[in-house]
Amino acid sequence: MLDFFTIFSKGGLVLWCFQGVSDSCTGPVNALIRSVLLQERGGNNSFTHEALTLKYKLDNQFELVFVVGFQKILTLTYVDKLIDDVHRQFRDKYRTEIQQQSALSLLNGTFDFQNDFLRLLREAEESSKIRAPTTMKKFEESEKAKKPVRSMIETRGEKPKEKAKNSKKKGAKKEGSDGPLATSKAVPAEKSGLPMGPENGIELSKEELIRRKREEFIQKHGRGMEKSSKSMKSDAPKEKGKKAPRVWELGGCANKEVLDYSTPTTNGTPEAALSEDINLIRGTGPGGQLQDLDCSSSDDEAAAQNATKPRATKGTLGGMFGMLKGLVGSKSLSREDMESVLDKMRDHLIAKNVAADIAVQLCESVANKLEGKVMGTFSTVTSTVKQALQESLVQILQPQRRVDMLRDIMDAQRRQRPYVVTFCGVNGVGKSTNLAKISFWLLENGFSVLIAACDTFRAGAVEQLRTHTRRLSALHPPENHGGRTMVQLFEKGYGKDAAGIAMEAIAFGTVPEKHGGPSLGSFVFCRGSARNQGFDVVLVDTAGRMQDNAPLMTALAKLITVNTPDLVLFVGEALVGNEAVDQLVKFNRALADHSMAQTPRLIDGIVLTKFDTIDDKVGAAISMTYITSKPIVFVGTGQTYCDLRSLNAKAVVAALMKA
């Protein structure tokens, strides 16, 4: 049973609609338009929305969309046939009204398609019932039944032909292998010319026996004696004087006092002064304003110089025929026309580090978008497919929701609470480093930051954040901000519960209440801190974990569920290919499975790191955005605090499509 079937134009005008149930089809169809059609994700012709499954078909020649919806628990085998029949019947019946392609003609047109649709639906249902079920093959129909009985009977004493051939081959090999050995063994006896004895076969004289024994002894023990003599010579200088271990300038020494980092530090005390060069730590460029990502490289300049050089002109007749060879000439595109071009485009995307499955889906989406579309006279298939693919990629990199952290932080300030951001990701992608970059960007914009050290597993994680906090404090000392501490580290050491540390950090960063009883923050830290001041932003650093580690993914889901951060950022590196899809899918799935909330909290945005190491292989940006429909909020491009960029979709697509 169908819930609805609707036909509408790409401009948004509903031409005809069939309603099988009382529920409105507006919500599911709008979700399909918003999540699939506008986002260029038409590689698959089905879409799931809540309890419904929607199947659709695009008519690019007349700019129409056919959508059918039914309950996803049902398995309706006739839906594909029905949507094809309705598409063909509706297009042929109302061709004249549709060909005008004006909104006024579509509004004034009358599309009475109810009876035709019911007839096609009835035919499709009957055809699915008529189809006979598959039956098992009988023995008479098998290949074994066609063989004669005589060929399967073996009499005693006879070997099959194949076995006999194999045994002959093996016998030949054995004879061939025994021959050389026998001759080689017989050679020394012939050469010696000694008489054969009854015991050993050869009788030797006393002198000959001594000489042969001596040669065997030298061969066995001569090499070992040489090695031992060499080792004695090499060990001799080592025993004379041992080399003293080198003491490095910043290496420290093996004293317990120096190596002991377990001394408790009071949260809220300012960090010590920094002795390093601040300009080297900060980097160059405006820190408070994110610059757009630049994907150009030195190869682009060389290509531009080569393009300006005059090229040798070919024959005018051959050049003219070559130019006219690829023109389409006002015809509708088919799958066969685009197949070779799409194959090259798919291989090109995979070579640029796009995940293989996503490259296939992108090319399939472009094929569905262009199939049946009438091209201009002076348009080639290659240029048309390339332009459509570029438009799809730009649309993918500009997803539905745009994350504006500065606006959201100011909104949280008005409600007198900190804006909480949680960073998660796999091991070694640069979570702590990019957290420090984002902290510097927020400090440059005048917001105070509290860094919560919730990575209680990795050795040195707290010390790394303490170093970043000390450097950021040197760049933004309290003297420049009216005595207010702009950046501070909140840590409880190692081996503690990360969710509990994050909760205490958020409570510590909240502005204390002026009236009434004591707030949660003042209650928790009344013993350990001198003052409890409000922070604008709380950045929560978590431990790196692989997507297949169920206990660690459960702990991450608990941290996010308990503390309900305003933004959950997944930190991924730009070096990955197919692994990006696996990481993001399993992270989202684990957060949904292990969450205790009714509506689980998933990833809200992406931080793409190590972008300066990949040249023009920027496919990971496409893979991550396509699989999650979430925006890339920040891009890390270096080691200093100013090496943070915002994503420029057109620059990334230009680098991706570059040959």
Asked if residue 262 has pLDDT above 90, the reply is no
Would you say residue 320 has pLDDT above 50? no
CB atoms within 10 A of CB 140: 7
Contact, 470 vs 270, CB < 8 A? no
Q: Which residue has the higher pLDDT, 550 or 226?
A: 550
Which pLDDT value is given to residue 290? 75
Nearest to 430 by CA among 194, 244, 187, 609: 609
pLDDT, residue 301, reads: 47
Name the strand (E) or helix (H) holding 88: helix 79-93
pLDDT of residue 151: 63
Which residue is associated with the tokens 């459960």? Answer: 554
- Name residue 332's beta-bridge partners: 374
Does residue 401 sit in helix, strand or coil? Answer: coil
Q: Is the dihedral of CA 18, 21, 26, 30 positive or negative?
A: negative
Q: Tell me what percent of the residues of the chain surpass a pLDDT of 90.
A: 22
In DSSP terms, 456 is beta-bridged to none
- Pick the most confident of 181-195, 198-212, 464-478, 582-596: 464-478
Look at residue 225 in the predicted model and tell me its pLDDT: 54
pLDDT at position 275 over 90: no
- Give the pLDDT of residue 613: 86
Question: Has this prediction a pTM greater than 0.85?
Answer: no
pLDDT above 70 for 361: yes
Question: Does the pLDDT value for residue 175 go beyond 50?
Answer: no
Mean pLDDT for the stretch of residues 23-47: 82
Among the listed residues 4, 3, 23, the one whose alpha carbon sits nearest the alpha carbon of residue 14: 4
Residue 630 has pLDDT above 80, yes or no: yes
pLDDT category, 448, cuts 50, 70, 90?
very high
Three-state DSSP class for residue 477: coil
CB within 8 Å of 225: residues ≥ 6 apart: none
Spatial distance between the Cα atoms of 599 and 108, rounded to a whole number of angstroms: 44
Query: Does pLDDT of 131 surpass 80?
Result: no
Q: What does the alpha-carbon distance between residue 88 and residue 539 come to, in Å, rounded to a whole number?
A: 56
Q: Is 246 exposed, middle or buried (0-12, 13-18, 19+ CB in 10 A)?
A: exposed
- pLDDT digits over 416-436, tens only? 899 999 999 999 999 999 999
Residue 520 has pLDDT above 50, yes or no: no
How far is CA 251 from each of CA 243, 255, 256, 259, 471, rounded to the nearest angstrom? Answer: 18, 12, 14, 11, 20
Q: What's the order of all strands across the beta sheet hosting 419-424?
A: 291-292, 644-646, 632-636, 605-609, 567-573, 419-424, 537-541, 449-453, 487-490
pLDDT in tens, 492-504: 989 889 999 999 9
Give the separation between CA 80 and CA 84, rounded to whole angstroms: 6
Which conformational region is residue 365 in: left (phi greater than 0), alpha (psi within -120 to 50 degrees), or beta? alpha
- What residues form DSSP beta bridges with 570? 424, 606
Would the CA dihedral through 578, 291, 283, 535 be positive or negative? negative
Quote the CA–CA distance of 536 and 493 in Å, as a whole number: 24
Q: Over range 162-167, report the average pLDDT.
A: 49
> E strands along 31-123, which residues?
46-49, 52-59, 64-71
Label residue 127 by pLDDT band (50, 70, 90): confident
Query: Which of 471, 473, 474 is closest to 640 using CA atoms?
Result: 471
Type of residue at 294: D
- Find the mean pLDDT for residues 325-352: 80
**Spatial separation of the C-alpha atoms in residues 285 and 292, rounded to whole Å:** 12
Distance CA(119)–CA(113), nearest Å, equals 10
Looking at 202-216, 348-362, 378-392, 449-463, which range is the least confident one?
202-216
- Phi and psi dihedrals of 594, rounded to 5? -95, 0
Regarding predicted confidence, which is higher, 556 or 257?
Answer: 556
Mean local confidence (pLDDT), 71-76: 87
